[in-house]
Amino acid sequence: MPLWKISARNNWNWGKDMVLTKGMYVELSTQSTTPPVGQSQYQETIAKAFNTKYSTKFDKSKMNASHLVCEKMG
């Protein structure tokens, strides 16, 4: 199972409790070797990971390649 580091590409502000800052990241393990950013089945999982780690309120629509970059860790 590959481990992915999903990081904020730049600073984004969508409102109260929805600020994504460059440097924020989460780690996510998937069954697939395809990067999870850009795959709709992982959008909600990525949003929940950011929300849990940073106490934000992102919805899954913000979790895409326009806002995030993904790198394989292992």
Mean pLDDT on 58-62: 91
pLDDT at position 1 over 90: no
What is the band of 44 on the pLDDT scale with cuts at 50, 70, 90?
very high
pTM listed for this prediction: 0.90
Q: Give percent above pLDDT 70 in the chain.
A: 100
User: What pLDDT score was predicted for residue 53?
Assistant: 97
Element (H, E) at 2: none
